[in-house]
């Protein structure tokens, strides 16, 4: 029996990297389908191989896993968010951050295409997203020295790059590690959506950073809330910090009196925009599903035109 990490999944086959760096192709035994257990890229697995054909027998326990993108045992997620083309959506960014917090994956926020707007608009955008730096998230802009900014956070990590289609995930990874030679797509002007260039999840070893980096398929929406509504506040760091001061231990931070979170919003120590995201997600999880006006969460386009 051998042990390796799944680094690629394609058409029912799983490529596993062994400790010596060799790669072996395998299939999963039928028992996984019966138990509704699916191997994911990033999984550690025990397998046997004979005559060049491998069979996965057992998956090791995961420290975490993500639904979108489907990957396991991640240390760090680079959340790639574009300033324009496609337009910035704080709602979409907050959805991704909640999912990462729930999976206990450290996010790094990378804002792409900032260099495509003029200096005044760059300053306005940086001011708008400064709230994430105040919360404690690492924030990197496309106008920064990318090698200097990313090298300290990437070293010896399993990293996933995730974000909206056309946001620039592959472009960023090619800048950090040109040897990856990842395909780069264009954004449809009519739909403000990117063309899908990454079709599968693959972990790629990048010796320069002593890391494994996954380029993943993009998406146009993100609707993963697979946890009880009572946990939602735990996945907003600024709410998690203030919540113990609420009058009621089970405070939902929606209508209760003596809510320290709502007081912090009024005082400005928690941003109104982030609280609006919390309130919307709370309603979605509760099943109320309000009508969502997409334009209301996008950065005002008149600031870019």
- Could you read off the pLDDT of 65-84 as tens digits, one per residue? 988 788 999 999 999 999 99
Q: What's the CA gap between 240 and 233, in Å, rounded?
A: 6
CATH architecture of the region 2-59: Beta Barrel (2.40)
170: confidence class by pLDDT, cuts 50, 70, 90: confident
Is 155 annotated in a binding site? The answer is: no
Is 167 annotated in a binding site? The answer is: yes
Is 202 annotated in a binding site? The answer is: no
**The pLDDT of residue 288 is above 90:** no
**CA-CA-CA-CA torsion sign (217, 219, 222, 226):** negative
Task: Find out whether 69 and 194 touch, Cβ atoms under 8 Å.
Answer: no
Task: Find out whether 183 and 170 touch, Cβ atoms under 8 Å.
Answer: yes
- Could you read off the pLDDT of 268-282 as tens digits, one per residue? 999 999 999 999 999
- Could you read off the pLDDT of 178-232 as tens digits, one per residue? 877 775 543 333 323 334 344 578 898 888 888 999 877 766 556 668 889 999 9
**The pLDDT of residue 235 is above 80:** yes
* Residue that is written with structure tokens 């709502």 in the block: 262
Q: How do 138-141 and 202-206 pair as beta strands?
A: unpaired
Q: Note if the bond before 49 is cis, omega within 30 degrees.
A: no
Is 134 annotated in a binding site? The answer is: no
Domain ranges of the chain: 2-59, 65-215, 229-295
Is 113 annotated in a binding site? The answer is: yes
Cβ neighbours for 111, distance < 8 A, ≥ 6 positions apart: 81, 82, 83, 88, 125, 129, 139, 140, 141, 142
Q: What's the CA gap between 163 and 160, in Å, rounded?
A: 10
CATH number of 65-215: 3.40.50.300
Predicted TM-score of the model (pTM) = 0.83
Is 55 annotated in a binding site? The answer is: no
Is 87 annotated in a binding site? The answer is: no
* Residue that is written with structure tokens 């926020």 in the block: 109
Is 99 annotated in a binding site? The answer is: no
- Could you read off the pLDDT of 93-146 as tens digits, one per residue? 999 999 999 999 999 999 999 999 999 999 999 999 999 999 999 999 999 999
Which pLDDT belongs to residue 222? 64
- Could you read off the pLDDT of 237-286 as tens digits, one per residue? 999 999 999 999 999 999 999 999 999 999 999 999 999 999 999 999 98
User: pLDDT higher for 178 or 5?
Assistant: 5
Is 165 annotated in a binding site? The answer is: yes
Q: Average pLDDT of the chain?
A: 85
Please tell us whether the domain made up of 229-295 is placed in CATH 1.10.40.50. Answer: yes
Q: What's the CA gap between 82 and 126, in Å, rounded?
A: 13
* Element counts in the chain: helices (H) and strands (E): 9, 15
């Amino acid at each position: 029996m051998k042990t390796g990490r799944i680094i690629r999944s394609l058409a029912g086959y799983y490529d596993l990297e062994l400790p010596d760096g060799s790669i072996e192709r395998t299939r999963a035994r039928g028992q996984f389908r019966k138990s509704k257990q699916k191997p994911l890229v990033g999984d550690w697995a025990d397998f046997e191989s004979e005559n060049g054909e491998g069979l996965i027998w057992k998956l090791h326990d995961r420290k975490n896993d993500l639904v979108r993108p489907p990957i396991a045992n991640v240390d760090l997620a680079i959340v790639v968010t574009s300033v324009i083309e496609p337009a910035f959506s704080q709602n979409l960014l907050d959805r991704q951050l909640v999912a990462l917090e729930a999976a206990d994956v450290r996010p790094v926020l990378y804002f792409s295409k900032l260099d495509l707007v003029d200096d005044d608009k760059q300053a306005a955008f940086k001011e708008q997203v400064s709230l994430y730096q105040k919360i404690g998230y690492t924030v990197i802009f496309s106008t920064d020295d990318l090698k200097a900014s990313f090298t300290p956070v990437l070293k010896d990590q399993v990293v996933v790059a995730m974000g909206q289609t056309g946001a620039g995930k592959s472009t960023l990874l090619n800048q950090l590690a040109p040897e990856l030679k990842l395909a780069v797509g264009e954004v449809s002007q009519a739909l403000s959506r990117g063309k899908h260039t990454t079709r599968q999840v693959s972990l790629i070893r990048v010796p320069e950073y002593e890391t494994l980096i996954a380029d993943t398929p993009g998406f146009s929406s993100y609707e993963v809330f697979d946890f009880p509504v009572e946990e939602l506040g735990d996945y907003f760091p600024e709410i998690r910090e203030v919540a113990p001061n609420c009058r009621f231990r089970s405070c939902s931070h929606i209508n209760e009196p003596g809510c320290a979170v709502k007081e912090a919003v009024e005082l400005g120590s928690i941003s109104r925009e982030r609280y609006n995201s919390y309130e919307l997600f709370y309603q979605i999880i509760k099943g109320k599903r309000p009508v969502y006006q997409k334009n209301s969460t996008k950065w005002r386009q008149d600031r870019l035109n």
